[in-house]
Structure 1
């Protein structure tokens, strides 16, 4: 299973590396949105169960992964700009589903609040609408090591906090990956972290209020940083939402062990796929507001 790869021009401003897994039998296309400091490779476990039920689209933001060499990195990107890129890719690949992980949920919720005409369902993994005490401590320490470009401690911090339930092999990969990034990637992540800290939260509730498609929130019951309890606060803002808890799993869900992978797979496919023998659903909705 090899994807089609391309580097796409986004509104004449950015170049974005993409991977497109085409499935002959799939009627729908899902786009996956990375978390901070992540690349397309972080979704390897997710692609295994989404394909071939869906065509699957992955991408690296302009400052990350295989998009880096095609962009000049002259300014720091806002979450609004990341949402713009996501909306453009949704149109180019005719995506009708979205799956985000961790901090990718911010840009995803912003994009969904604009009611893209194609999207019918979305899954938000490992995300919550508040900054609780463990997350605040993680972010404050993260801002310090990112500002110092302290490569060793950036990797150590990740594995000691949100990554602490990962297998040792994944921890070694994470440490090597985040400790060898470019300085502008650290600056970009620090920019996002400080925006969150100064806003005293992620300011996502106003975006959630505008979303009218069904959302599924998935969290691990061992994840104290984006806890399942905190995620349920989205029920106050999202019109149509469901929640699933992955047992004995932390922040990284399907990457942590086989049972968590199976639970995550079952939760996502049960939500995303139509029930057996149900009438075929249309692939897109239409709104007065288009992107």
Structure 2
């Protein structure tokens, strides 16, 4: 799949490696925001159903993936910094939709609370405002592993918790990726966990209350960490929100099995292209 690669200077003088997947049949662009310990490569399953319908932008945070070599003297970035980076990328690529995964939702919602004029709709997957017992246990154990820089324990923890429903092939890829990250990336994730643990649900609720575009919250039926029920706590403030539970699926949604991929695709297409999804899919198949 063809991609235009570029390094874009953003908030704070940081440099971000981007990949733009053009779709000559679309004038709409969706930008994807990944979660902690992940790079843009984690969005390959989503890219398969998005690129036939949209232009798609993937990027790595300044501290990770292909962006890391371009930022040799990098301090810790907070979620507020990541929100400002996202706002710069939205303007640069003239994006009109966002799709975030897991903790990428924090910077996404902070950015959307600024009401960027270009953005029309956003998909928030595998996220809730509640730190329930399972999520708290995962974060506390993650803190210990990251502080010790214990690569094996960090990778094993992810696969045994939020990654418990991933197929074996994805677990092997996950383990290899997480266990070979640089020390700075572990430090950055530890900084994020400490930041998240210091926040409360009210902050996220108030942030979402400033968002004036339609939001779609996607959560896996089997996800114990960001449950569909917990996501509904957004409902009172996110008045233009809808909620879809993906059946027989955990935290990683479309990456877990083919039926989940199809269900996520249908939900996202229906939301981002209301009344146009089936026609757009047929045109993509003809093209």
- Which range, TM-score by smaller chain? over 0.9
Per the alignment, in what secondary structure is the counterpart of residue 30 of structure 1? strand
Matches of residues 100-111 of structure 1 in structure 2 within 5 Å? Answer: 100-111=100-111
Q: What is the CA-CA distance between 1:209 and the residue it aligns to?
A: 0.7
Residue in structure 1 matched with residue 282 of structure 2 by the alignment:
none
Kindly indicate which of the two structures has a greater share of residues assigned to helix: 2
Runs of 4+ in structure 1 over 4 Å off:
none
User: 2:63·2:74 contact (CA, 8 Å) conserved in 1?
Assistant: no
Residue in structure 1 matched with residue 52 of structure 2 by the alignment:
52
Kindly provide the CA deviation profile for residues 105-131 of structure 1, in whole angstroms up to 9, marking residues without a partner as x: 000000000000000000000000110
- 2:33 matches 1:33: yes
Q: In 1, Cα distance between the equivalents of 2:200 and 2:133?
A: 12
Q: In 1, Cα distance between the equivalents of 2:172 and 2:243?
A: 31
Kindly provide the CA deviation profile for residues 260-287 of structure 1, in whole angstroms up to 9, marking residues without a partner as x: 000000000000003149xxxxxxxxxx
Q: In 2, Cα distance between the equivalents of 1:40 and 1:220?
A: 21
Structure 1 unmatched runs, 5+: 278-291
Residue in structure 2 matched with residue 143 of structure 1 by the alignment:
143
Structure 2 unmatched runs, 5+: 278-287
Q: In 2, Cα distance between the equivalents of 1:12 and 1:118?
A: 22
Residue in structure 2 matched with residue 130 of structure 1 by the alignment:
130
Deviates more, 1:5-14 or 1:197-206: 197-206
Kindly provide the CA deviation profile for residues 14-60 of structure 1, in whole angstroms up to 9, marking residues without a partner as x: 01000000001012100000000111110000010011210000000
Per the alignment, in what secondary structure is the counterpart of residue 235 of structure 2? helix
Per the alignment, in what secondary structure is the counterpart of residue 32 of structure 1? strand
Per the alignment, in what secondary structure is the counterpart of residue 208 of structure 1? helix
Residue in structure 2 matched with residue 70 of structure 1 by the alignment:
70
CA 1:121–1:200 in structure 2 vs 1: closer, same or farther (change >3 Å)? closer
Residue in structure 1 matched with residue 161 of structure 2 by the alignment:
161
Residue in structure 2 matched with residue 248 of structure 1 by the alignment:
248
Per the alignment, in what secondary structure is the counterpart of residue 203 of structure 1? helix
Residue in structure 2 matched with residue 99 of structure 1 by the alignment:
99
Q: What is the CA-CA distance between 1:202 and the residue it aligns to?
A: 8.1
Q: In 1, Cα distance between the equivalents of 2:168 and 2:140?
A: 25
Query: Could you tell me the TM-score, scaled by structure 1's length?
Result: 0.93
Per the alignment, in what secondary structure is the counterpart of residue 67 of structure 2? helix
Deviates more, 1:201-210 or 1:53-62: 201-210
- 2:221 matches 1:205: no
CA 1:44–1:267 in structure 2 vs 1: closer, same or farther (change >3 Å)? same
CA 1:218–1:20 in structure 2 vs 1: closer, same or farther (change >3 Å)? same
RMSD (CA atoms): 1.2
Query: Could you tell me the TM-score, scaled by structure 2's length?
Result: 0.94
- 2:213 matches 1:219: no
Q: In 2, Cα distance between the equivalents of 1:149 and 1:28?
A: 41
Residue in structure 2 matched with residue 181 of structure 1 by the alignment:
181
Residue in structure 2 matched with residue 19 of structure 1 by the alignment:
19
CA 1:83–1:58 in structure 2 vs 1: closer, same or farther (change >3 Å)? same
CA 1:185–1:73 in structure 2 vs 1: closer, same or farther (change >3 Å)? farther
User: 1:121·1:213 contact (CA, 8 Å) conserved in 2?
Assistant: yes
Q: What is the CA-CA distance between 1:203 and the residue it aligns to?
A: 2.9
Q: What is the CA-CA distance between 1:205 and the residue it aligns to?
A: 1.1
Residue in structure 1 matched with residue 193 of structure 2 by the alignment:
193
